[in-house]
């Protein structure tokens, strides 16, 4: 429309090599991603945001949390979930986990609802841990019985352009997780227009246009922040989304090699083997002396991770809520043993061989 626009985008010539995307797509990339995820999730409402942690915070903004409201989440959640809850001066209510899948324990969920039954109890956040999607049948039933919103956290479970059966009221997806960590972005989908509308308002500082004839007259009707996904990141993430199925398949093939090469290794228990698992993390359990095992791998040049330290072990949540080490026995047992080994789509056969040989060597000497 304008011959002299207020802003002009910077063009990057090296981006021309990305197949199927050109500069005319940059400004529309965030909206295009939202439209794709509406199809993927079969939801009418979607918003693009700048990263998964912002997505969690914005989802809670959309619920209009108040001081003292309570949100249930697993005790092995990544820190961005409980910290987002605390930013509203609301309270995270932690559940224990299942011993092998590390998903939320249904028995523990029922227990915490019984102990915290009140109008202040608002929602359940479900994490599809390490790329293994949790069966939500029981959780959906429990949520309906107690009038609780379900927020599904898919940030560990990559999606391709195929359909995803979303069962929660709100679902959060990372656009880059474990595929290319140089890019950040996320999508939130909603099943209710009022929640979506509030999230959209808050995403852009609570601003609304008040004059149809000119674009610079606005009003502020709520407090918010800038959670928007920038056009260039959306442009690149759109390209990554098109390759996602291929990249996830490569990561799964690494996991399959691990199942073959690490079978029946002393001191090592392998994760659940399932066609439904994406192995965003390949989590093994070391029967004893996990930290010593990890140090030996580090000395051999194999980097490992720990996903995740139970929140009752961290200083803030332990002191804030008086949590005890033995408050969540399944999480405690897992924490003492779990270790994530390298598992990504860029690993070569030589990388896999090196990692497995290092594990075998350490295991043969491990006490």
Could you tell me the two tokens for 160?
């391709």
Could you tell me the two tokens for 128?
């599809």
How far apart (Å, rounded) are the C-alpha atoms in residues 323 and 91? 13
| Confidence check: pLDDT of 6 > 50 | no
More confident residue, 15 or 163: 163
| Confidence check: pLDDT of 21 > 80 | no
How far apart (Å, rounded) are the C-alpha atoms in residues 143 and 244? 32
Domain range list for the chain: 13-238, 244-365
> What mean pLDDT do residues 154-182 have?
83
How far apart (Å, rounded) are the C-alpha atoms in residues 15 and 246? 21
What does CATH list as the number for 13-238? Answer: 3.40.640.10
pLDDT tens sequence across 219-236: 999 999 999 999 989 988
Across the strands, what pairs with 285? Answer: 269, 338
pTM: 0.92
pLDDT tens sequence across 312-326: 999 999 999 999 999
What is the CATH topology of the domain spanning 244-365? 3.90.1150
């Amino acid at each position: 429309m304008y011959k002299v626009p207020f802003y002009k985008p910077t063009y990057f010539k090296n981006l021309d090599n990305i197949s199927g995307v050109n500069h005319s797509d940059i400004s529309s990339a965030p909206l295009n991603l939202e439209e794709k995820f509406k199809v993927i999730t079969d939801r009418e409402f979607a918003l693009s945001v700048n990263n998964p942690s912002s997505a969690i915070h914005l989802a809670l903004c959309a619920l209009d949390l108040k001081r003292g409201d309570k949100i249930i989440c697993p005790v092995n959640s990544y820190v961005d979930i409980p910290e987002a809850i605390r930013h509203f001066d609301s309270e995270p209510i932690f559940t224990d986990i299942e011993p092998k899948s590390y998903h939320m324990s249904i028995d523990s969920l029922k227990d915490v609802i019984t102990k915290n039954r009140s109008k202040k109890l608002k929602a359940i956040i479900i994490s599809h841990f390490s790329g293994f999607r949790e069966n939500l049948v029981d959780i959906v039933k429990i949520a309906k019985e107690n009038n609780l919103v379900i927020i599904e956290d898919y940030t560990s479970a990559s999606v391709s352009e195929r359909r995803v059966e979303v069962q929660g009221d709100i679902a959060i997806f990372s656009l880059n997780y474990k595929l290319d960590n140089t890019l950040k972005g996320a999508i939130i989908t909603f099943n209710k227009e009022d929640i979506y509308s509030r999230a959209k308002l808050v995403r852009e500082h609570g601003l609304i246009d008040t004059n149809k004839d000119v674009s610079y007259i606005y009003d502020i009707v709520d407090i918010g922040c800038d959670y928007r996904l920038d056009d260039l990141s959306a442009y690149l993430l759109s390209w990554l989304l098109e390759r996602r199925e291929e990249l996830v398949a490569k990561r799964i093939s690494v996991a399959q090699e691990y199942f073959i090469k690490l079978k029946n290794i002393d001191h090592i228990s392998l994760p659940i083997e399932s066609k439904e698992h994406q192995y965003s993390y390949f989590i093994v359990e070391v029967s004893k002396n996990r930290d010593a095992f990890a140090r030996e791998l580090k000395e051999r040049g194999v980097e490992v991770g720990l996903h995740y330290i139970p929140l009752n072990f961290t200083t803030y949540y332990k002191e804030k809520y008086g949590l005890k080490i033995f408050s969540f026995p399944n999480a405690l047992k897992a924490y003492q043993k779990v270790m994530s080994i390298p598992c990504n789509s860029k690993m070569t056969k030589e990388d896999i061989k090196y990692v497995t040989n290092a594990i075998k060597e350490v295991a043969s000497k491990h006490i």
